A and B are shown apart, each in its own frame.
Chain A
Amino acid sequence: EPEVTQTPSHQVTQMGQEVILRCVPISNHLYFYWYRQILGQKVEFLVSFYNNEISEKSEIFDDQFSVERPDGSNFTLKIRSTKLEDSAMYFCASSVSGDPPLHFGNGTRLTVT
């Protein structure tokens, strides 16, 4: 069964550094999403992306965050200047259309020190 793949599985970075989290959505899917889960808290929506532009974003997704689909297969989340509170598990997801369900990757655990 096709999967959403995320790399790396774990990323450690220092506060103030830029990080890029990478995702390869399922090939025939058109909608892409990023969610995050701070340890012990709920899974929170960050952003959705369709047709090479952001379709929705949450309050969490401020100017420090950006998303890009640099080629036909990758979907990336960039955090420009990481803060301690950005430490979380980041999940990428995709869907065929804008309807759920979403198909999730295994996540990237980001640790900011």
Chain B
Amino acid sequence: AQSVTQLGSHVSVSEGALVLLRCNYSSSVPPYLFWYVQYPNQGLQLLLKYTTGATLVKGINGFEAEFKKSETSFHLTKPSAHMSDAAEYFCAVSRSGGSYIPTFGRGTSLIVHP
């Protein structure tokens, strides 16, 4: 079985500050890992993904995430927050073999203050 835990339902940062959204996963096989973003009244948009290879993954809008197998983590970071980054962020895991159906976390709402 696979699962995802996102620590913190809400994260609040000031514009220009570091963004850190935490994600820990559980998977019995090597995982595929994803971050999706959901802006108000929109669908889920893929930010970045890890499948194999380099453990530091760069995505759109300046976000990146690092796969740390020893910590079973895939935290999302951005050096400097923009007001436009305010959204809901979802971490997801799927198996690297067998069923590829992603399992999502509860989501973290990022609030950016001026």
Main secondary structure of the interface of B (DSSP, over half): strand
Q: In this assembly, does B104 line the interface, its C-beta being within 8 Å of a C-beta of chain A?
A: yes
Interface size grouping (class) on chain B: 20 to 34
A42–B7 alpha-carbon span in the complex (Å): 13
Query: Does residue A62 face the partner (Cβ distance < 8 Å to B)?
Result: no
Stretch at the interface among B12-20, B38-46, B70-78: B38-46
Q: Contact at B100–A98, with CB atoms within 8 Å?
A: yes
Contact A43 B44 (CB under 8 A): yes
Interface contacts (Cβ under 8 Å), in number, total 49
Say yes or no for A105: interface residue by CB 8 A criterion.
Answer: yes
Q: A: which residues have CB within 8 A of B?
A: 4, 6, 9, 33, 35, 41-45, 48, 56, 91, 93, 98-107
Contact B34 A100, beta carbon cutoff 8 Å: yes
B interface residue numbers (CB < 8 A to A): 32, 34, 36, 41-46, 49, 90, 92, 94, 99-107
Task: Please state if A42 and B106 are interface contacts (CB–CB under 8 Å).
Answer: yes
Q: Is the CB of B94 within 8 A of A4?
A: no
How far apart are the CA atoms of A71 and B58 in the complex, in Å? 38
